[in-house]
Amino acid sequence: MSAGTPDLAALAVGQSIGTRTVEVDRRTLVRYAGASGDLNPIHWNERFAVEVGLPGVIAHGMFTMGTAVTLVADWAGDPGAVVEYGTRFTRPVPVPDPGTAVLQVEGVVGAIDLEARTVRVDLTVTSEGARVLGKAQATVRL
Amino acid sequence: MAVNTAFAGRSYAPTEAYQVGREHVRAFAAAVLADHPAHHDVAAARALGHPDVVAPPTYAVVIAQLAEAQLVQDPEAGIDFSRVVHADERFVHHRPIHAGDELVTTLHVDSITERAGLAMVTTRCEIAAADGEPVATVVSTLAVRGESS
């Protein structure tokens, strides 16, 4: 984080910006529910989640989206450098109890705009080998 | 009841100002496991040119969902939340959100489309500072399953 800003001129499309592994348990979800104000019971109430046809309690898509982009913010050296970020939610992440779900996050430079001084980072986020976010892309201004 | 497509194209009056609190920025950052010092330490944020701790890139969802409640919690809109799946989300930051910001949100229902028993509801929240300066645009799509599926 203190390594500073990446050198735009030295970046290449396809280059990895790194990886991150995130372990998620029920406590993680309760904390996100409280901090975000998203109190949908599918994220903390097993009975309710099963009743609405889910395999069990699932992570907030916005938690997965929010934690995945920390890789980009840390790489950029400033979370305020993230000027655009979007994703589709393609697959729910069941979070067992007891136990944890594991998210694997990887970022690759997808595009570079030297004039605008922006870099698009394409994120791959998987759980148990399956992609849980689709077309997750963050643009940073360096 | 089905999603009311007549809500497509509707815009709402700007919300009351939302005050971004420093401890809330810290709590939200902790909740998404964002440990960059600029979220937590005022001096570290200022060293990067921010006036106060900077909110994580997805923090704007907190503000957006309060505005979206005007639609989602309106019985006339027919959005049954037990049938809702979040389909996609996109943020454009015109500038970072900081502790101390007072932000006003204008909700637009950009589209409601129905296909194969699924209604796709796309909303757009334009978040601005009290003086009108654009801060963030949040586009969110919910997929609402029909009664029969």
**∠ CA B37-B39-B43 to the nearest 5 degrees?**
60
CB–CB of A110/A87 below 8 Å? no
What pLDDT is recorded for position B2?
Answer: 86
**In chain B, whose CA is at the least distance from the CA of A52?**
B82
Instruction: Report residue A3's pLDDT band, with 50, 70 and 90 as the boundaries.
Output: low
CB–CB of A58/A41 below 8 Å? no
CATH code of domain B5-20+61-145: 3.10.129.10
| pTM score of the predicted model | 0.97
Q: Would you identify the CATH topology of the domain A8-24+59-141?
A: Thiol Ester Dehydrase; Chain A (3.10.129)
Whether B32 sits inside 8 A of A63 (CB atoms) is: yes
In this structure, how many other beta carbons lie within 10 angstroms of the beta carbon of residue B60?
25
Record the tokens describing residue B48, joined without a space. 């990067």
> Distance (Å, rounded) from C-alpha B136 to C-alpha A66?
16
Size of interface A-B (CB pairs under 8 A): 112
Would you kindly state where each structural domain of chain B is located, as residue ranges? 5-20+61-145
Whether B57 sits inside 8 A of A78 (CB atoms) is: no
What pLDDT is recorded for position A1?
Answer: 41
CB–CB of B137/B94 below 8 Å? yes
Would you kindly state where each structural domain of chain A is located, as residue ranges? 8-24+59-141
> Residue A28: helix, strand or coil by DSSP?
helix
DSSP per-residue string spanning B66-82? HHHHHHHT-GGG---GG
**Closest Cβ–Cβ partner in A61, A70, A134 for B34:** A70
Task: Give pLDDT tens digits for B8-23.
Answer: 999 999 999 999 999 9
Does any CB of chain A come closer than 8 Å to the CB of residue B82?
yes
What are the Cα distances from residue B75, in Å, to B2, B94, B106?
A: 11, 33, 20
Task: Give pLDDT tens digits for A35-51.
Answer: 999 999 999 999 999 99
